[in-house]
Structure 1
Amino acid sequence: MWYLDGFVYFVLDLGFTVLGLFAFFHALTQKVDAYTAIERMTKPAWLGITGGGTAAMLLFSPGGIGSIFWLAGLVAVLVYMVDVRPKLIEVQRGGPRW
């Protein structure tokens, strides 16, 4: 029998894990020079961060005993998605278009 909290944790886990996979593959497909241009860490560093964050979200679950590791993985992926990814897209398109 499913309880509401278990269902919510399952949906959160699934959704954020898919987001982590997207972040990892996005980081993988970007040019090495783009990371240098935005003055952030290197491409291998972001591959490690997004890959490690996604792995943590796959191995642990929210609301479980390892939920702190799940949360750390989520934060790592969200930092990439909110801070690094928009800058990578902007620099590869040629800067802001006003």
Structure 2
Amino acid sequence: MLREGFDLGITLVVGLFFLVFAVVSFVFAAMAREDAYRAADKQTKKFWLIILGINLVLNLVLDMLFLQIAGVIAAIVFMVDVRPALKQVSGGGRRGGSSSDGPYGPYNGGR
């Protein structure tokens, strides 16, 4: 009996994580500009919104772990590969400066 409650708790936490990750990846995909997808040489914005939207709907409607895992893999691909490319093309992630800038200004090698 205790094990059944524990298994249900873990399943609930994993399902909630999958749902939150699906929502976050869908929102990031929707916020990016269409031309950034083309400039980054990734699939179109429409493609990613469809894939991540299906993932989101599957997480909300179905409780099939296999389909949820497939959707999470698609969301991971977006977050690890596509999103950084979109940020780089859009100029995000860096606020100017050179590669030798530290947190308190440029690093000049102790000179």
TM-score of the pair, normalised by structure 1: 0.84
Q: Specify whether residues 4 and 95 from structure 1 end up closer, same or farther in structure 2 by C-alpha distance, changes over 3 A only.
A: closer
SS of 1:3's equivalent in the other structure is: helix
- Alignment correspondent of 2:5: 3
Tell me the amino acid that sits aligned with residue 71 of structure 1: I
Q: Distance in 2 between matches of 1:84 and 1:77?
A: 10
Q: Distance in 2 between matches of 1:52 and 1:31?
A: 20
Q: How many residues of Structure 1 are paired with residues of Structure 2 in the alignment?
A: 94
Q: Distance in 2 between matches of 1:91 and 1:12?
A: 33
By how many angstroms is 1:23 displaced? Answer: 0.8
Q: Distance in 2 between matches of 1:94 and 1:29?
A: 13
Higher relative contact order (CA 8 A, sep 6+): 1
- Which of 44, 47, 56 does residue 45 from structure 1 map onto? 47
Q: Specify whether residues 82 and 94 from structure 1 end up closer, same or farther in structure 2 by C-alpha distance, changes over 3 A only.
A: closer
Structure 2 unaligned spans of 5+: 100-111
By how many angstroms is 1:22 displaced? Answer: 1.0
By how many angstroms is 1:29 displaced? Answer: 1.0
Q: Distance in 2 between matches of 1:95 and 1:34?
A: 14
By how many angstroms is 1:59 displaced? Answer: 2.1
Q: Specify whether residues 94 and 55 from structure 1 end up closer, same or farther in structure 2 by C-alpha distance, changes over 3 A only.
A: closer
Deviations 1:18-72 (A, max 9, x none): 11111111111111110001101000000001111121122233xxxx2211111
TM-score of the pair, normalised by structure 2: 0.75
Q: Distance in 2 between matches of 1:79 and 1:57?
A: 17
- Alignment correspondent of 2:84: 86
SS of 1:5's equivalent in the other structure is: helix
Q: Distance in 1 between matches of 2:93 and 2:30?
A: 21
Q: Specify whether residues 86 and 55 from structure 1 end up closer, same or farther in structure 2 by C-alpha distance, changes over 3 A only.
A: same
Structure with the higher fraction of residues in helix conformation? 1
